[in-house]
Chains A and B, each alone.
Chain A
Amino acid sequence: MGFVTELLIAVFLVISGVFGLVGSYGLIKLKDSVQRLHGPTKATTLGVGGVLIASMIYFFAQNGQLSVHELLITLFLFLTAPITANFIAKTYVARHLRPRDLPDSTSEYGWSVYDDPPETIRDE
């Protein structure tokens, strides 16, 4: 394995480690529950992404063929991370905030955590 390849892998590993650590540090440092959502959802996706890219380069340099597994894991994480973050935010809003803590929704109906959808949408 050439020096440049090794350097590239090492750089990706170090970057991803730092981002993973910062994400979890944000989980401890930030005061408010909703603020804490920001740390892990972002930092860890790039963290794990970095590890997976490093592993892809490593196995490509070692075996000479591209492995798609890493790409699949990355894709899966990028698709699911926003969904879990959204769910957790919704859980927090539903259990710990009242409608008056949030800004007014700019449409005629309130936020869906508190309000039922209008009949036309429910029928679809």
Chain B
Amino acid sequence: MIRYLIPHPLLSLTLVLVWLGLVNTVTVGNLVLAVLFGLVLPIFTKAYWPDRPKLGNPFKAIEYVLVVLWDIVVANVEVAMIILFKPEREIRSQWVPVPLDLTSAEAITVLAGTITMTPGTVSATLSADGRSILVHCLHTDDPAALRDGIKSRYERRLMEIFQ
């Protein structure tokens, strides 16, 4: 019964928090409206959320967010340096395929987003069976090191979070 009324507890919680953030003041009326949205919207959009993503370890998720935020700051400075000071012909860009061990769609989505936001890399596409991801690197001399870095720094943590 609970499962039928609240199909996605995490989604409901997010909706409540986002609504309260949008109106920017917490009053009883706003809270009631927020909870109403949080309960009704997941039921109406149930068809688009076939299964519930498993979150194995929430504390690992916090650690992951902090690591990624730090990497984003470092990535910004690195890319800015490359853009400003590296002569055109010295920039060696290349495509790097990275094989994936992750299987759940949510985890792969988070990994693709992380790759795009961090040091000089952009994820472009998946292989047709979702077993590897194509990454474009702005400047690297050692694609193997880059691939291992992505696997050990992000993918390993995501495995712990989602499984």
A residues in contact (CB < 8 Å) with B: 19, 22, 25-26, 29-32, 34-35, 37-39, 41-43, 45-46, 67-69, 71-72, 78-79, 81-83, 85-86, 89-90, 93, 102-113, 115-118, 121
From A69, A86, A113, A117, give the contact of B116 (CB < 8 A): A86
User: Taking beta carbons and an 8 Å cutoff, which residues of B are in contact with A?
Assistant: 18, 20-22, 24, 72-73, 75-76, 79-80, 83-84, 88, 91, 93, 95-97, 99, 112-114, 116-117, 120, 122-132, 134, 136, 138
Contacts of A115 in B (CB 8 A): 127-128
| A109 in contact with B21 (CB, 8 Å) | no
Q: Give B120 Cβ to nearest chain A Cβ, in Å.
A: 6
Contact residues in B for A78 (Cβ distance below 8 Å): 117
B122 contacts A34, C-beta separation under 8 Å? yes
Q: What is the bound-complex CA distance between A43 and B24, given in angstroms?
A: 28
Across the interface, which residues of A come within 8 angstroms of B116, CB to CB? 41, 81-82, 85-86
Contacts A22-B84, A117-B129; is A104 near B97 (CB within 8 Å)?
yes
Contacts of B136 in A (CB 8 A): 34, 37, 89
| B93 interface neighbour in A35, A102, A103, A111, Cβ under 8 Å | A35
Find chain B residues with CB under 8 A from A31 CB. Answer: 88
CB-CB nearest in chain A for B83: A26
Given contacts A107-B129, A111-B126, is CB(A72)–CB(B83) below 8 Å? no
A113 touches B125 (CB 8 A): yes
Tell me how far the C-beta of B20 lies from the nearest C-beta in chain A, rounded to whole angstroms. Answer: 8
A93 touches B72 (CB 8 A): no
CB pair B124 A45 closer than 8 Å: no
- Write out the residue numbers on chain A whose beta carbons fall within 8 Å of the beta carbon of B131: 105-107, 109
Query: B79 to A38, Cβ gap below 8 A?
Result: yes
Chain A residue numbers with a CB within 8 Å of B128 are 105, 109-112, 115-118
A118 to B125 CA separation, bound complex (whole angstroms): 16
Residues of A within 8 A of B79 (CB): 26, 38-39, 42-43
Q: Is B80 a contact of A22 with CB atoms below 8 Å?
A: yes
Q: Decide: A67 and B125 in contact? CB cutoff 8 A.
A: no
Given contacts A35-B93, A82-B113, A105-B127, list 13 more A-B pairs with CB under 8 A.
A19-B76, A30-B83, A35-B138, A38-B79, A42-B76, A82-B112, A82-B114, A89-B136, A103-B95, A103-B97, A110-B128, A111-B126, A113-B125
Nearest CB on A from B18, distance (A) = 7
Residue pairs across A and B with Cβ atoms less than 8 A apart, 26 shown, are A22-B83, A22-B84, A34-B136, A38-B79, A38-B138, A41-B117, A42-B75, A42-B117, A43-B76, A43-B83, A45-B76, A69-B22, A71-B21, A72-B21, A72-B22, A82-B117, A86-B116, A89-B125, A89-B136, A104-B97, A105-B131, A106-B127, A111-B126, A112-B127, A112-B130, A121-B129
